[in-house]
Structure 1
């Protein structure tokens, strides 16, 4: 009996070891097979299985075990657990466009609508336009899920769900079908790509002590709830953040429908899950897709990136995709670079959260803070560098690192701490460290002074100039003291909008001929709905990031769709870009934090959004899927790869785009101007019917560049009429960096504006067109 038992045990161990060996060094790969040219989803699924069986030595069982997702609605492909060798084998198969690792994407983490110019409550009507059809607009949010009980997602007085909606309300932990309503009409969640990537992730989710995690569409992070309510939240009265920013809250399109696709978990969002969400969203029938997330810079090829792939097929089906540009804040760090995506930068609004800082010498200073705590009396202020403890040097302790502070030296004092430029260190954590060391307050010197932080003790952020004043006071005073007061919201106290310091910037690292970001919108200190699953059980919270800017543009897209349902994604994008402003509310050129320099298109794209003007631009730079195919050919894609991506009969021979600069984009970038260079654009008239509309070209040329427009006058006789024009650039100065100008097509007081971005190069090569 024992012998038999041992034999069975040995066979079982061999079986387990064989399977372990099969998946040794395996990881998740996404296999992208281009567009979907078949309605037969079973055929697509069967093809995926056949490919997997072939690389698993004919084992159907192993092939089935390795498959995570099959993409079969918006595009073709699958995600599976593969070894590097298996992934290489599949990449060589004739039907495959690309095979790439399941990379992680990061979250790009409201008085703002008043500031933009949409003043209203329940329906956000715009004078002169009816936006009541926003009830038929469905926005899909790919994010961290949603808190369905939030008042921002109430369906009071909303009509039935639009006919033709194919989405579903997926049940899961603490979430069931009853949590959806006529406002929140769909909810799905995706976990396979995340779980398969790291066992640690799985253990974290399954940990019963982790009360913030839900295996469902319920939001355990807050980010998804915040973005959805910013774009489409209902009007909520008497809302605030711990008593700050008291007032009503609403999204840009408060009567639009919301469908959520939860792909993001505490440790990130993975490509395999993101593509599954895109696939379902296209099939479900969403009309807009919004993603406040993206890759780290530098971004990889378009068709090795889940967001670029998913958005390509969504836009080709008439679904606009809006995404955030990223929060790295440096030159060339922009992401979500595909020309078919509307990519959004972040700005301030005219509200700031300030805390008064009273120094013992009678000098009153201001810092940025969300802390509602305040000191009852002045206390001694010291530099954190002299409170060093343990093995930490004074320099290390100046940053208030964990365990770096001596309790005896810190107790009862206000600490002046530093924050490393563009550091990922938590500023909230620094206040926790100071508190744990006995400190009663903190002043944090940081270049990123525009972001308000909810510190756990009386605390505030100041810039370097103010920081130097405080250091001088400390060094030249025998017993320096400071008192920090609670934060208060101040409106109209500064020039706004300003580009936020964290907002990622161009030029485009993949194709510099395409300007990124496209536009800018409020993303600094934005108050919106939140998940009370996080500590303090708040229903509303203030957040900053390009994540917050993205849904502002999403809301505007929804309003445009409600007024112009037949407009293409490119038409909507053009309307938003060409009506944006490069000036702040005082009429001065927009500035960029933290240094306050004058901004340029690499900071804000075409400028700060104007939703009312975007509803009637008069002219648009329109595009169809054919234009994007031509763009791909101009960047090096051949007939074979183009066919695999599109699954139609397109060839590069039929595409006439000689250079990416000739894509009919609402901005013009020439990154390598030698002597002279010409680009062509096409404008479509979509103004109000009249006998004729005459537009004249007005140019503000980039420094050292001559700009010629042919023709200089465009006459339109009917709605939908198209006119071409050619822009020729001639360099009159030696090689220089990027320079900026503008082209405006003007009709009386109105017109559309196109940024001109030029970089001249040595003229040792002849002219080009």
Structure 2
């Protein structure tokens, strides 16, 4: 596979020198270029599947390979090695110059060489909202949930706070004998910190520390409370684990908000922790080591609420895609988040072997009203419960700029941007750009430090994310923001009052697609629809780390929180159907989902309230009562993913290295749209096409299904055969979907295909884009 290292070749350096770049203005650029070419950085070297289970020679082989780019020195090779991956796939991470990495990429047996990039972290009323309820006998929809105790979920995240009541092992039986993991001790975490609930814990820091060494900024464990152990210092890992598999906890709330009982989707499932995420993110080298161990330890599911920045690179230059490929090849379901960019085409974790989750709202809001001096009340969101004594003078941050900051810059309430004399004792109106990297809490801190007593935050994106501000404050959308701006600009002595937040249920149609949730189409292979599904991710209450805030439970938003909701559902399916493949389990969730909200109307998207589509929610919103008996599934196995890789350009050599077997690409490779996926996406329809799929019967042995089509606008759709009749469990039947253009459109159009029987309805979204001369993909 090609590996791109811009500029750092002898020819490019020579060309720059010969061009006579002598002027001082260019000399520093040349020196910087040379420094980047010859200074060491951390790279991941991926060598594909491990062909056998023997570990012999793995480490020594890595040293030999590294020695080849270190002038034959084994000592230098050993010093440069960060990780050796040899449990379930082959490869290593090492400190290399770009020139050395280039040479290594050309060696036989190397599939890819890529920089140790940082991945970003993408959370109980939500389960009641989804309709998941267990009765006293641990049954739902006629199926027993008692086998949850034999399901092991691996969380690759920021670790865990094992003392949280969400991770109690009360009434849990002994750990399954098949478990091969460990409870790794470390700072503030002993070998006895695990229990019958949290049955294993490991941590990985080599890739992170190597990066810090490169920039001479070692991780300060004392200052940041970044425990060198599986203990969670940020709260994110504890939050996600408790959403999916947290034990029952009564009388939970956040400062009086969201009061009730907390629980995970699979409250009796086991938790295995793989801490690979630290102060500023999760590095590829550490993530691959976590995947390697999780597969070997014997987990059933891996949940990864993190991912690459958009646009995502090639599958085998991405640690999560690589790790998940080998996990799925070993029968492990990998559930991931789609990202928080909120824009079209920004979805990540795009590999077809992964189960990728978008974020939705529930029917619960945390409402804080802003009451203006003219009597107008505006609805905002907040987690702040402080009471203001009364209305106070109000000022726009742009009118109180300080120092070298322009009015525009100060309008965003940047650090040190506000004039304390003008701000003191006032409510300040600030702007938020909508970027997930921009802290709303930090803005309230800036206002407080400047002497402000309250903040009205106008959010460009209007994503309804509630934040625990440090002073009375509320976030409002752009429309309400315009009302505030008009009032303040036209009023002499404007006043405002911010009321404490309250928990409000059922005020708006739900679920809605969260404004921050990343959308499709799939930027790598639009023939595969991503995201796959949508689940609650807005303002979710779950367990937290007291090291991050003095809280046992916290309310957080993101697709990171949506991911473990689906992880919990997957665990329930695994408990009832332990022999189902990862693809069959994903299909069961996707094909039983709904595209209607609780009012039986089409799901909409925030903030504009427009009708949502499969790029926003994939197959829709899960219906837990249907997932255990989906009737039919679209199954897929390693051979199907191999065919997919062939269809997108992988050759025999690359394929065999990745899979570790004698797989080969046939001359008549099937197009990528023919992967047996629960959704159908055709991004380049010119006139007509035939798409093939295979149904597997997992319902009644004797059953008949009819194809019901809602065609995309301008597309004729016929299904052959229109009826399928099954006579046994596990029977497979092929069918063909013929699509023909009748009226070209300028963009993607959406429809659906359902297989309907007396007992089940198996739904798939249809996504089509007509390509006419002179147009391309969006």
Q: Same fold (TM over 0.5)?
A: yes
Do the aligned residues in 2 keep the contact of 1:118 with 1:124 (CA within 8 Å)? no
Q: 1:314 aligns with which of 321, 327, 341?
A: 327
Q: 2:430 aligns with which of 397, 417, 421?
A: 417
Q: 2:613 aligns with which of 600, 604, 617?
A: 600
Q: CA deviation at 1:556?
A: 0.4
Q: CA deviation at 1:204?
A: 5.0
Cα distance in 2 for partners of 1:34, 1:411 equals 61
Q: 1:733 aligns with which of 735, 740, 743?
A: 743
From the superposition, tell whether residues 319 and 423 of structure 1 become closer, same or farther in structure 2 (CA, over 3 Å): closer
1:699-720 per-residue CA deviation (whole Å, 9 max, x = no partner) reads 1110111111111111111111
From the superposition, tell whether residues 612 and 204 of structure 1 become closer, same or farther in structure 2 (CA, over 3 Å): farther
Cα distance in 1 for partners of 2:427, 2:50 equals 62
- Which residue of 2 is the match for residue 5 of structure 1? none
Q: CA deviation at 1:687?
A: 0.2
Partner secondary structure for residue 765 of structure 2: strand
Whether 1:525 and 2:539 are equivalent positions in the alignment is yes
Whether 1:152 and 2:166 are equivalent positions in the alignment is yes
Do the aligned residues in 1 keep the contact of 2:427 with 2:452 (CA within 8 Å)? yes
Greater shift after overlay, 422-431 or 72-81?
A: 422-431
- Which residue of 1 is the match for residue 685 of structure 2? 673
Partner secondary structure for residue 479 of structure 2: helix
Do the aligned residues in 2 keep the contact of 1:124 with 1:252 (CA within 8 Å)? no
Q: Spell out the pairing of 1:466-545 with structure 2 (5 A cutoff).
A: 466-535=480-549, 537-545=550-558
Q: CA deviation at 1:91?
A: 1.5
Cα distance in 2 for partners of 1:276, 1:121 equals 40
Do the aligned residues in 2 keep the contact of 1:110 with 1:526 (CA within 8 Å)? yes
Cα distance in 2 for partners of 1:392, 1:90 equals 48
Cα distance in 2 for partners of 1:123, 1:452 equals 36
Cα distance in 2 for partners of 1:178, 1:411 equals 52
Cα distance in 2 for partners of 1:436, 1:733 equals 60
Cα distance in 1 for partners of 2:215, 2:135 equals 42
- Which residue of 2 is the match for residue 258 of structure 1? 271
Cα distance in 2 for partners of 1:671, 1:23 equals 40
Number of aligned positions between the proteins: 740
Q: 2:304 aligns with which of 291, 298, 316?
A: 291
5+ long unaligned stretches in structure 2: 1-34
Greater shift after overlay, 754-763 or 246-255?
A: 754-763
Do the aligned residues in 1 keep the contact of 2:221 with 2:227 (CA within 8 Å)? no
Cα distance in 2 for partners of 1:120, 1:133 equals 13
Q: 1:582 aligns with which of 587, 592, 595?
A: 595
Greater shift after overlay, 740-749 or 179-188?
A: 740-749
Cα distance in 2 for partners of 1:204, 1:493 equals 49
1:38-70 per-residue CA deviation (whole Å, 9 max, x = no partner) reads 222022223222211222222111111111111
1:717-742 per-residue CA deviation (whole Å, 9 max, x = no partner) reads 11111111111111112352100000
Whether 1:404 and 2:417 are equivalent positions in the alignment is yes
From the superposition, tell whether residues 96 and 449 of structure 1 become closer, same or farther in structure 2 (CA, over 3 Å): closer
Whether 1:375 and 2:381 are equivalent positions in the alignment is no
- Which residue of 1 is the match for residue 357 of structure 2? 344
Partner secondary structure for residue 404 of structure 1: coil
Cα distance in 2 for partners of 1:207, 1:763 equals 59
Cα distance in 2 for partners of 1:647, 1:76 equals 10
Do the aligned residues in 1 keep the contact of 2:123 with 2:239 (CA within 8 Å)? no
From the superposition, tell whether residues 307 and 595 of structure 1 become closer, same or farther in structure 2 (CA, over 3 Å): same
TM-score, normalised via structure 1 length: 0.94
1:92-140 per-residue CA deviation (whole Å, 9 max, x = no partner) reads 2221111111111110091000001112488864141101101000000
What's the Cα RMSD here? 1.8
Whether 1:242 and 2:255 are equivalent positions in the alignment is yes
Cα distance in 2 for partners of 1:136, 1:285 equals 11
Do the aligned residues in 2 keep the contact of 1:694 with 1:747 (CA within 8 Å)? yes
- Which residue of 1 is the match for residue 75 of structure 2? 61
Do the aligned residues in 2 keep the contact of 1:23 with 1:82 (CA within 8 Å)? no
Q: CA deviation at 1:698?
A: 0.7
Q: Spell out the pairing of 1:26-105 with structure 2 (5 A cutoff).
A: 26-105=40-119
Whether 1:687 and 2:699 are equivalent positions in the alignment is yes
Do the aligned residues in 2 keep the contact of 1:140 with 1:290 (CA within 8 Å)? yes
Partner secondary structure for residue 177 of structure 1: coil
From the superposition, tell whether residues 248 and 214 of structure 1 become closer, same or farther in structure 2 (CA, over 3 Å): same
Q: 1:704 aligns with which of 711, 714, 719?
A: 714
Cα distance in 1 for partners of 2:586, 2:471 equals 44
Greater shift after overlay, 380-389 or 175-184?
A: 380-389
Cα distance in 2 for partners of 1:28, 1:631 equals 31
Cα distance in 1 for partners of 2:419, 2:137 equals 56
Cα distance in 2 for partners of 1:47, 1:131 equals 46
Cα distance in 1 for partners of 2:442, 2:456 equals 13
TM-score, normalised via structure 2 length: 0.93
Greater shift after overlay, 356-365 or 141-150?
A: 356-365
- Which residue of 1 is the match for residue 466 of structure 2? 452
1:126-160 per-residue CA deviation (whole Å, 9 max, x = no partner) reads 14110110100000000000001001111111100
Cα distance in 2 for partners of 1:726, 1:84 equals 48
Whether 1:439 and 2:449 are equivalent positions in the alignment is no
Cα distance in 2 for partners of 1:238, 1:132 equals 25
Q: 2:197 aligns with which of 179, 183, 189?
A: 183
- Which residue of 2 is the match for residue 16 of structure 1? none
Cα distance in 1 for partners of 2:774, 2:212 equals 53
Cα distance in 1 for partners of 2:48, 2:367 equals 51
Q: 2:185 aligns with which of 166, 171, 185?
A: 171
